[in-house]
Structure formats: C-alpha cells, structure tokens
Amino acid sequence: MRGDVLPWIGDGARLQDLIQSLPTAGLLVLIGVCLLVLFKAADWMIHGVVQLARRTGLPRIVIGATIISLGTTTPEAVVSVMAAWMGNPGLALGNGVGSIIADTGLIFGLTCLLFRVPGNRFILNRTGWVQVGAATLLVGVSLVALATAEGNPVLHRGVGGLFLILLAGYLYMTYRWARSGGPTAFGRETEEDAPLMGLGRCWFMIIGGLLLVAAGARVLVLAAAQIAFRVGVPDDVIAATMVAFGTSLPELMTAIASVRKGHPEIMVGNVVGADVLNSLFVIGAAAVARPLAIPDNFFAFHFPAMLVILYSFRAFIWMNKDGGFRRWQGGWLVGIYLMYLVFQYAFNMGRMGGSPS
C-alpha cells in the first residue's frame, strides 16, 4: 500500500492529475480527510516532543526551536533550492522572507490574539537576538551587494556557505544555552503525568508526524486550489493565497496543536527557530545551489516588512517582564501582516497594470 501511495504524494504531476480527475464532492471529502490527518499528525508530533523533552532533559521550547523548526522549514528549503537551481531567484528568496513574515506576523500574532502565550525569557533573550540578527544580516549583506554590484545585486555562494555555517553554530549554541540554564531554561513549562515513552517511539512520533503534516498540507493545498479554479478564482489569486497558505500550514498546525495540548512554548520555539532557519538554512542553501539575484522590490517592500515584524517581536520580549505576551501585541503583528498583504496586492496590481509612474 505504501508503495502505491508515496509516488502520488512525491510526484507533483501525477498528484495534480489525480486531483484534477476527482469530482468536486470528492475534493471536498479529500480536504476533510487531509484536515483530520493534519490535526492528528500534529498531535502525535507534539506528544513526541513533550516525551523527548522529558527523556533528554531539554526544554520544550528548545526542541521546538531546533528539531521541529528543521522539520517544518525543510519543505521551504527544498522549494527554494529547486527554484534557485531552475533560475527563479525571486521565488527562492521570497519563499524564505515571506515565510518569516507569515510565521511571526500571522501565526504567532494570531495565537497571541486567541490564547495566553508564555515567553521563556532565558531562552528568548538569546534565541530572539539570533532571530533578529539573522534577518538583519540577510538585509545587510543584500544592501552591501546593492551598493557594490555593477548590475543586479546578487547573494553569492560564499554568502550561502556563511549562512549554513552560522546555522550550525546556532543549533549548537541553542543546545549549550539550554544545558547551562538549569531550571531557568525551562521557564513555566508544566510537568507531564503520562508514562514515560521510549526514545525510539518519541522520534517515530516526531518524524512520522512531520511527514504526515507535510504530505497532508501538500494534498490539501492542491485540492483547495483545484476547487478555487473550478469556481472561477483567477490563477494569480490562487498562487498568491494557496501557495503562501501551504508553505505556512505546517507551522500553523504545530501552533494549534501545541496550544490546544497545553504546551504553547513549543509554538514559540518553533516560530523563533523557523525564522532563523528561513534566513540561514532556506536562503543559505538556495544561494549555495545557485547565486540569488535580489529583485528591486525586496529593498523597498519585503525586507522592511520583515524587519518591522521581527523588531516588534524583539521589543515585545523586552517589554514583557513577566514572560507572557499580550493580546494587543498579537493584534499589532497580525495588523502588520495584513498591511503587508494589502500593499503586496496593490504593488503587484500596479506592476501588472503596466503604467509606470
């Protein structure tokens, strides 16, 4: 059975053909099944993380910022590397930057609006600076490339290699911070009464949950896009909404499951870690695959939006002396994200209009 299913999940053309052949009622059923798979798989993954934290003695926020973030950002890395290799640097760079904006602005902001989200100051005062620093480094290197390039600015392979080296340093230092922090590194993490699970089963639930979330998100987005196409939604609107939703869906499902199961610190760690990995891993790996030309609109639009959201998040960590995020802070982040969407749509419509100002 597995040999029959996996080719359909991995082969985009075959999966697209299969989805196009289904009636609309079948697509609706498929979406419902995918949602159930996503919720259950995310629950398994969070349970595995909690058990792994108990087994290893690491804070759950650290596992969220490393292992889970690596899992949820790997699809973005694959997409960006393939896009760079096929000569589409705008997609490769935009995938990483756009994911940072969506993860922090939409997912974290929306979670703060709906729930009380604690913040582990010991970890966030360290990883939070790496989160902002990695994005600032990306923008700084891009500005240097803009100032020194004779033609279009480019992120060269050496820059990508540097980012990957910094990524390895981040993962190691996060582990060291957790080990050196003692009880303060755990913040207000609640104790679990469930029986302790074996280490192998912990990893099975985490990796299996991540794979099922990725597969479910892939099928769900294609099915939803097909329904949107059948009811007359334009292709560019589908691309701007469904694709963006699909790349953020694993992080969103992780956030929902972690909060629902009473472990919001995993969501916080995942968002912070995903931001670092999108800067260093996703963009770094894409630049190593092929140098990335930086489109002009990144300097005027995408980079500023990313920095406003991340420095707002950094300011909230500093402001929240009791370690918890406020509802209005979530509203601010969601508001910035919605403004980003509105201006992005207006900017793209202006460019498609073809009349230069």
The CATH superfamily assigned to 2-351 is NCX, central ion-binding region (1.20.1420.30)
- Please state at what angle helix 199-230 crosses helix 2-10, rounded to 10 degrees: 60
Q: pLDDT at position 50, please?
A: 72
CB distance 241 to 48 below 8 Å: no
Amino acid at 207: I
pLDDT digits (tens, 9 = 90+) for 283-315: 998 899 889 888 888 898 889 999 999 999 999
**For the residues 195-213, what does the mean pLDDT come to?**
78
8 A C-beta contact, residue 142 and residue 298: yes
| Sequence ranges of the domains in the chain | 2-351
Bridge-based pairing state of the strands 117-118 and 324-325: antiparallel
Q: Would the pLDDT of 104 be above 70? A: yes
Q: What is the mean pLDDT of the chain?
A: 76
Asked whether 167 and 288 are in contact (CB, 8 A), the reply is no
How crowded is residue 44: how many other Cβ atoms within 10 Å of its Cβ? 18
In degrees, rounded to 5, the angle at the alpha carbon of residue 72 between the alpha carbons of residues 50 and 121 is 55
Q: What pLDDT, in 10s, does the model give residues 154-171?
A: 999 999 999 999 998 888
Burial class (CB in 10 A: 0-12, 13-18, 19+), 187: buried
Say whether pTM exceeds 0.75.
no
Torsion of CA 161, 267, 207, 216, to 10 degrees: -100
Residue 319 token pair: 């402001």
